[in-house]
Chains A and B, each alone.
Chain A
Amino acid sequence: MNSTEQLLSINNLHTGFRIKDTYFDAVDGVSISLKRNEILAVVGESGCGKSTLATSIIGLHDHNKTRVEGEIIYKGINLAKLDEEKFNKIRGEEIGMIFQDPLSALNPLMRIGDQIEEGLAFHTKMSKEQREKRVFELLDQVGISNPKRIAKQFPHQLSGGMRQRVIIAIAISCKPNIIIADEPTTALDVTIQAQILDLLKDLQAETGAGIVLITHDLGVVAEVADRVAVMYAGQIIEEASVEELFANPLHPYTRSLFNSIPQMNSENEKLQVIQGIVPSLTNLPRTGCRFSARIPWISEGMHEENPTMHEVSPGHLVRCTCWQHFHFESEEGGITR
């Protein structure tokens, strides 16, 4: 198994939610791939479709209200078209998921040990004793110091950080090839955040899994990711290695994101914010450059009519051509707002 083996390849994925009999795509033509041993970060503002993308990969959308089209190729199978029963063989076993809110992601009426063991019972042929041993092993692996005691406890008896560790233990219980982590640290306080990120990195190094890490925190990205995809309004607008993206962000949206991070040593105390908001699903313009409405000082002609991804340097892709002409509003003749 080589280290650059392609694990997952997503091609032109569209995931739409039904709102009053019409489907609105929250993920609108996403193409991206994930390699073994890689942490791919997906960043973007709230509502840009990050969770929708994650949920599509692991097939947890409600089929009655959601339409998933395009390709999510894993081991030659298109997960987007897989039926529920077959998906259950992959879910939990080959793809694990870590959720945002550890406080609500565990069943309050079930002991920790039972919740971890549940997946093992279905995906492995282990005996009851073996599973129990594996539960202790897993708890130990995620840094819980008293596995035997914790396994018997209920979620409400654990702190948020501990619960997130338990959820990670569930996600890695069957040694999945892919781990999807949807904002795994957002609900935790800063010191715990760092611990959980370290844990994820360690686990990844140990298991060689590919991780899709969803976050809106560029600090998190800098700390753990290998590659980054920046999402805006359902599309990926820039993709590059972490080093490249941080050194050379190109797309106006990416640059605005960086610009909006408060700088400790900055002379300018004013926080730069991106004008406007992410358009809601039903109001999303489906043609032209989707970010153009938020940078009105860049003239229409600078955008592509149908923006596509352009490879500007090896592995660095940017959507639309507007980045070549972009400047911040305040840079133009000194207008500040």
Chain B
Amino acid sequence: MWKIIVRRVLIMIPQLFVLSLLIFILAKQLPGDPFTGLLTPDTDPNRIEELRELAGLNDPWYVQYVNWIGNAAQGDFGKSYTYKIKVSTLIGEKALNTFWLSLVSAIILYLIAIPLGVLAGRYQDTIFDKIIVFYSFVTYAIPTFVLALIFLFIFGYQLHWFPTVGSVDVKYDPGTAGYFWSKLYHMLLPAITTAILGTTSVIQYLRSEIIDAKSLDYVRTARSKGIPVNKVYSRHIFRNSLLPIAAFLGFTITGLLVGSIFIETIFGYPGMGQLFISSLLSRDYSVITALVMLFGLLALLGSLLSDIIMSIVDPRIRIE
């Protein structure tokens, strides 16, 4: 299995290469450059031109690309034009924030969705099931930003239960327990919002998986053994129905990371998503390209993770 995983990781290299080329070319197509914004009527055009020359922006695109990819391979994505610090440093800290936020979101998501989906499927067509189905319709219909704004307004501004901005209270020093709790506390509201929005598909999927499983042949075989209904569910139905959910875990995490783009912006949470939006607005190429590369890499890792999980939980599957 390790061999196969290593091979899969190696295959990612050409994939990332193609991705990088696409991103670079697309980024170059965007109108303007980092210096466009600095232009005022009294800027000296020659000065701007000098800066461009210095930044290598006047080189042919392939020269720029080779320079960029060469450095990128060593983890150096250049300097942010806006923040004037290394892109890797800038992203590193924010990526960590986003990573934790996504992880907490995923945990909350599954804590809500798995029990609800399982119960709705098992007690199909009861009042209980109908309430859950109604809940998932509501969360399906509501757009991300609307729910986020409502939550922010009620729980943040009205009730003051949660902070409305930032990722940690500045009064704590990193490494202390207070710092940890403050981080978690700041994450909670955006994480709950993201999680709730993500529950719809998991609940619906699980519910229908379980309803279908009830009439499967091997479930009938299990029932013909005369084992208690609860055992039929726990040993034969649930495990098999959770399989596809486990399979989607990798993709779900990728989805949460990408989904953070809106959530972080609304909750003023300093993560990759927020950084992505602000870099887009300021045409901070080096940051944009690095972020898109990172999102791409995460998508590839997500699918690898899904395959690995599947091969662990399903004996029929061996990753190839």
Contacts and interface: CB of A to CB of B under 8 A. Distances in A.
Interface string A138-156: 0000000000000000101
Given A101-B217, A104-B218, A156-B315, A88 B226 contact: yes
B23 to A, nearest CB: 41
A91 B239 contact: no
Interface stretch (B78-86, B99-107, B137-145, B228-236): B228-236
B316 A154 contact: yes
Interface stretch (A17-25, A92-100, A205-213): A92-100
A214 B168 CA distance: 70
Given A109-B315, A156-B315, A122 B218 contact: no
B227 A99 contact: no
Q: How large is the interface on A (under 10, 10 to 19, 20 to 34, 35 or more residues)?
A: 20 to 34
Contacts of B215: 62
Interface string B217-258: 110111111111101000110011001000000000000000
Interface in A79-115: 84-85, 87-93, 96-97, 99, 101, 104-110, 115
Given A99-B220, A105-B221, A109-B239, A119 B226 contact: yes
Q: How large is the interface on B (under 10, 10 to 19, 20 to 34, 35 or more residues)?
A: 20 to 34
A111 to B, nearest CB: 8
A201 interface: no
B315 A154 contact: yes
A119 B227 contact: yes
B216 interface: yes
Given A99-B221, A167-B221, A109 B226 contact: no
B59 interface: no
B235 A118 contact: yes
A88 B227 contact: yes
A123 interface: yes
A170 B221 contact: yes
Interface string A260-286: 000000000000000000000000000
A126 interface: no
A90 B220 CA distance: 15
A60 interface: yes
A105 B226 contact: no
**Most chain B beta-carbon neighbours within 10 Å: one of A90, A107, A115, A156:** A107
Contact of A91 (B214, B225, B313): B225
A119 B217 contact: no
Given A105-B218, A107-B240, A118-B235, 14 more contacts: A62-B215, A88-B228, A89-B226, A91-B224, A97-B224, A99-B217, A99-B220, A104-B217, A105-B220, A108-B314, A118-B225, A118-B231, A119-B225, A167-B221
Interface of B: 214-218, 220-229, 231, 235-236, 239-240, 243, 313-316
12 contacts: A58-B224, A62-B215, A92-B226, A105-B221, A106-B218, A109-B313, A118-B222, A119-B226, A119-B227, A123-B226, A154-B315, A156-B316
